[in-house]
Amino acid sequence: MTITSLAKRIVGVNRLAVEKVEIEESEGENSLVIHVRVTKRDRCRCGICGKKCGRYDTGNGRRRWRSLDIGKSLRVYLESDSPRVWCPKHGAVVQMVPWARHGAKHTKNFEDTAAWMSLHLSRKTISEYLRISWDTVGPMVRRVEQETSGQNGRFDGLVRIGIDETSYKKGHKYLTVVINHDTGTVVWVAKGIGNEVLERFFQELTPGQRNSIELVSGDGAKWIRETVGNYCPKATFCIDPFHVVSWCEDVLDAVRKQEWNEARRKVAEESKGKPKRGKGRPKKDTAAKTSAQKAVERIKHSRYPLLMNPENLSESYRAKLQEVLLYDRRLATAYRLKEGLRAIFQLPPEEVRSALEKWRRRAWSSRIPDFVELQRKIKRHMDAIVATVTHQISNARVEAVNNKIKLTIRMGYGFRNLDNLVALIYLRCGGRVIYLPGRRIDSLA
């Protein structure tokens, strides 16, 4: 094998001409420098669009691109001229080179390796292994994502989509996430929440793509329903069952807090005028406890028994729940309303609407203000709840993607540049397939 063939194998590119190969020693480290030039076929092409252009000037002379290391500590560099060309669309830009992306200081193989590692490791680990600054990893991932974004149509075949928001930073910093239910992949991510943010997603779609959307799932937020209704009026909106049940659980917990505070208030009123207890461990009270004191002990530690599903309760939690339901009528009513609403999502689709109407009448007759307000909310979202049970669609996929986004943020120890985070989300959750250089799956079979 000749030196030229070996150099092409090291770089991983055949479309280049090798001029010479030399070893340089700097600060006690050896570097392999491969002097190359662009072939006639790839000469004078725009570095952005790749079209043939006229030569503009010599640029800044010769420059280097770092490639993957060889052995333990031998760094590899490619050195070549970097003239500029004049593109009618992009102006004066550096000519395209087949071994690196436009604006990069590293070869494609180096950036592909860093992008693949970013899906499994933190940026700090990548920077230590590849011997680069951790600030360099983010732009590499962004360039790889931009190149792979044209290989698959993110907006093709959208029929059922899910919309949700997730926080990416403290201080109420949110991302709007849109996924494809049929593929489970992220199709769009943007900073912020609200109508204006979600409108940008629908504006990127063609009229045909918007008309192809049949089902949209969300958490019942007003800005999601309004935007979907404006851009996809024929689409059916579905509310995630988890969020509907969580509305009822929040109301149940609010009722529990009211009962707890009321019992504590009565105990405080009963203790007025009585001498205060001295220091030290109190003596065992042999006197009978008042009803208020019993209510305080009964409601104490009852949050989880009331909110958890009955089939998941332990023996101690089940005993606590039975005690609360037996002696606290208001909490028992609220708990049965919660379980009744949860059971509706297990019914056949044709029985859901009548069951919801029956549940609304029970909530109204309970005379609990929070549940009276909740049944009005259920009435407003009646059609969406019925559609959810009919089409058996939920935001479970969206929530799973949100967990992956949280994991991505934790692995990277946070992201100061949001564009780098969005690019990594597309690579990890967008259905993109990133291979290590020269290691495709079909070649390993």
Q: Is the pLDDT of residue 395 over 60?
A: yes
What secondary structure does DSSP assign to 170-181, as a single string?
TTTEEEEEEEET
Q: What percentage of the chain exceeds 70 in pLDDT?
A: 95
Residue 269: its pLDDT value, please?
A: 81
Residue 322: its pLDDT value, please?
A: 92
Residue 248 parent element (H or E): helix 241-270
| b/e 23-43 (16+ beta carbons within 10 angstroms → b) | eeeeeeeebbebbbebeeebe
Question: Within this chain, do residues 252 and 114 fall inside the same structural domain, yes or no?
Answer: no
Question: Within this chain, do residues 366 and 430 fall inside the same structural domain, yes or no?
Answer: no
Residue 150: its pLDDT value, please?
A: 66
Question: Within this chain, do residues 71 and 164 fall inside the same structural domain, yes or no?
Answer: no
Residue 437: its pLDDT value, please?
A: 82
117-121, 286-290, 409-413: which has the highest mean pLDDT?
Answer: 117-121
Given 102, 118, 149, the domain boundary residue is 102
Confidence of residue 444 (pLDDT cuts 50, 70, 90): very low
**What's the number of domains the chain is made of?**
3
Given 65, 84, 102, the domain boundary residue is 102
Given 48, 69, 102, the domain boundary residue is 102
Residue 443: its pLDDT value, please?
A: 41
pLDDT tens for residues 290-346? 777 888 888 888 899 999 998 999 999 999 999 889 888 999 999 999 999 999 999
For residue 143, the enclosing domain spans 106-186+218-234+405-438
Residue 442: its pLDDT value, please?
A: 45
Domain-embedded: residue 282: no
Residue 396: its pLDDT value, please?
A: 83
Question: Within this chain, do residues 359 and 430 fall inside the same structural domain, yes or no?
Answer: no
Mean pLDDT of 275-286: 65
Domain-embedded: residue 278: no
Strand order in the sheet with 185-191: 185-191, 173-180, 160-169, 215-218, 236-239
Question: Within this chain, do residues 246 and 384 fall inside the same structural domain, yes or no?
Answer: yes
Q: Please give the residue that has the higher pLDDT: either 292 or 224.
A: 224
Question: Within this chain, do residues 253 and 372 fall inside the same structural domain, yes or no?
Answer: yes
Question: Within this chain, do residues 126 and 223 fall inside the same structural domain, yes or no?
Answer: yes
Question: Within this chain, do residues 360 and 387 fall inside the same structural domain, yes or no?
Answer: yes
Q: Is the pLDDT of residue 385 over 60?
A: yes
Q: Please give the residue that has the higher pLDDT: either 7 or 276.
A: 7
Domain-embedded: residue 318: yes
The CA distances from residue 415 to 56, 168, 346, 352, 418, in Å, are 38, 9, 41, 44, 6
Q: Is the pLDDT of residue 288 over 70?
A: no
Burial class (CB in 10 A: 0-12, 13-18, 19+), 233: exposed
Domain-embedded: residue 396: no
Q: Is the pLDDT of residue 114 over 80?
A: yes
* pTM > 0.75: yes
Domain-embedded: residue 328: yes
199-208, 269-278, 426-435: which has the highest mean pLDDT?
Answer: 199-208
Domain-embedded: residue 197: no
Residue 227: its pLDDT value, please?
A: 93
**Average pLDDT value over all residues in the chain:** 87
Taking the C-alpha atoms of residue 341 and residue 90, their distance in angstroms, rounded to an integer, is 59
Confidence of residue 285 (pLDDT cuts 50, 70, 90): low
Q: What's the chain's Rg over C-alpha atoms? A: 32
pLDDT tens for residues 129-187? 999 988 888 899 999 998 887 656 788 889 999 999 999 888 888 999 999 998 889 99
Question: Within this chain, do residues 261 and 378 fall inside the same structural domain, yes or no?
Answer: yes
Give one word for 220, left, alpha or beta, with left for phi > 0 and alpha for psi -120 to 50: left
Residue 270: its pLDDT value, please?
A: 77
Question: Within this chain, do residues 6 and 50 fall inside the same structural domain, yes or no?
Answer: yes
Mean pLDDT of 253-277: 83
Residue 282: its pLDDT value, please?
A: 62
Collapsing DSSP to helix, strand or coil, 76 comes out as: strand
Q: Is the pLDDT of residue 441 over 60?
A: no
Residue 14: its pLDDT value, please?
A: 82
Question: Within this chain, do residues 139 and 222 fall inside the same structural domain, yes or no?
Answer: yes
Question: Within this chain, do residues 38 and 144 fall inside the same structural domain, yes or no?
Answer: no
Burial class (CB in 10 A: 0-12, 13-18, 19+), 96: buried
Domain-embedded: residue 286: no
Q: Is the pLDDT of residue 367 over 70?
A: yes
Domain-embedded: residue 273: no
